């Protein structure tokens, strides 16, 4: 079976929901109770005025720190934190990706091959901002901030699931491109070098010298569920497909397995990343 998760309309900015609107009304009520305007409230929670306005209007999923700071600043008797528990939207994630993101949260194994950009789970802030700044149609500062928040939250998977096996195969050209400039690339490489020190995270580099390999069909994602089922996911520019059909998933697994033997070993990949950090060819 294939799930077509197409449906993005505005650069990955999720739609409003009743729970978001209700949360916004709670924040607005306590802000007015405190005698604060949005202009006065924004610096107290250390978010921009547009962000505060969007949260109150139910157009923006509130970042975690926003909830905590609003609760403290407005002395809301736990009401804001309570309302936040019932929010029903994945912040900053494109519509077509949200179902896969839910599967990710419960996965016991997660494999990713990427040839376009460094996967969101591995991105640094500078790299992510550089990526979003090139988005077409252009994103507003508020939309970029929302997507940054989403990536930060999603990356908690790497921290919170030490028993989940994470495997990544990344094309060497993703680093050679220098997205965001040399400083952003060096920061990204340093981040990856640190991540692979964890025993449950493996990163392999597919070298430029490897002219032909099993990933030429494009990027792919695989995961194993807690009941040991395997799912596959592939993504286009404005859509994504989740595969449950055993034959299709088996083919994706076969391609990923072949790539693990065609890419550099984890040890050699680490060495290459360290050399690229030092500016060596």
Per-residue model confidence as pLDDT tens digits over 127-155: 999 999 998 999 888 788 878 877 888 89
Question: Tokens 């005698």 correspond to what residue?
Answer: 35
CB atoms inside a 10 Å sphere around CB 55: 24
Identify which has the larger pLDDT, 4 or 84. Answer: 84
Q: What is the mean pLDDT of residues 39-54?
A: 92
What DSSP assignment string belongs to 57-124? TT-SPPPHHHHHHHHHHHT-TTHHHHHHTT--S-TT--HHHHHHHHHHHH-SEEEEEESSS--GGG--
Q: What is the mean pLDDT of residues 17-44?
A: 92
Identify which has the larger pLDDT, 162 or 9. Answer: 162
Question: Tokens 């070298």 correspond to what residue?
Answer: 207
Q: Are 264 and 255 in contact (CB under 8 A)?
A: no
Q: What is the pLDDT of residue 117?
A: 96
Say whether pLDDT at 94 is over 70. no
Q: Are 164 and 200 in contact (CB under 8 A)?
A: yes
In percent, how much of the chain has pLDDT > 90?
66
Q: What is the pLDDT of residue 244?
A: 93
Identify which has the larger pLDDT, 71 or 16. Answer: 71
Identify which has the larger pLDDT, 93 or 145. Answer: 145
Banded pLDDT at 1 (limits 50, 70, 90): low
Q: What is the pLDDT of residue 91?
A: 54
Q: Mean pLDDT over all residues of the chain?
A: 88
Banded pLDDT at 12 (limits 50, 70, 90): very low
Output the CA angle 227-232-235, nearest 5 degrees: 145
Q: What is the pLDDT of residues 240-276, one digit of tens each?
A: 899 999 999 999 999 999 999 999 999 999 999 999 9
Instruction: Report all structural domains of the chain as residue ranges with CATH numbers, in order of start.
Output: 18-84 (1.10.260.40), 95-277 (3.30.870)
Separation of alpha carbons 223 and 220, rounded Å: 10
pTM > 0.75: yes or no: no
Q: What is the pLDDT of residues 184-208, one digit of tens each?
A: 999 999 999 999 999 999 999 999 9
CB atoms inside a 10 Å sphere around CB 260: 17
Output the CA angle 130-136-139, nearest 5 degrees: 65
What residues contact 114, with CB distance under 8 A and at least 6 apart? 168, 169, 170, 171, 174, 219
Say whether pLDDT at 14 is over 50. no
Element (H, E) at 150: helix 141-154
């Amino acid at each position: 079976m294939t799930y077509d998760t197409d449906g993005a309309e505005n650069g990955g900015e999720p739609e409003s929901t009743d729970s978001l609107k209700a949360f916004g009304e709670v924040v607005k009520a306590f802000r007015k109770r405190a005698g604060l305007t949005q202009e006065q409230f924004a610096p107290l929670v250390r978010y921009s005025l547009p962000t505060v306005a969007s949260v109150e209007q139910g157009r923006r999923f509130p970042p975690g720190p926003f909830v905590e700071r609003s609760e403290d600043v407005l002395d809301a008797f736990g009401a804001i934190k309570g309302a936040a528990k019932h929010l029903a939207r994945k912040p900053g994630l494109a519509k077509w990706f949200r179902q896969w993101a839910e599967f990710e949260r419960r996965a016991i194994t997660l494999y990713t091959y990427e040839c376009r950009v460094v996967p969101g789970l591995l991105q640094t802030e500078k790299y992510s901002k550089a990526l979003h700044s090139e988005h077409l149609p252009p994103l507003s500062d508020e939309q970029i901030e929302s997507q940054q928040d989403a990536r930060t939250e999603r990356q908690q998977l790497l921290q919170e699931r030490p028993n989940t096996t994470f495997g990544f195969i990344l094309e060497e050209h993703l680093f050679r491109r220098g997205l965001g400039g040399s400083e952003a690339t060096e920061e990204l490489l340093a981040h990856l070098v640190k991540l692979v020190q964890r025993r449950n995270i493996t990163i392999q580099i597919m070298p430029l010298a490897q002219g032909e390999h099993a990933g030429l069909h494009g990027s792919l994602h695989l995961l194993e569920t807690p009941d040991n089922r395997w799912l596959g996911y592939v993504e286009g520019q404005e859509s994504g497909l989740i595969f449950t059909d055993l034959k299709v998933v088996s083919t994706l697994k076969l391609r990923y397995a072949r790539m693990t033997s065609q890419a550099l070993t984890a040890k050699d990949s680490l060495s290459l990343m360290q050399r690229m950090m030092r500016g060596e060819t």
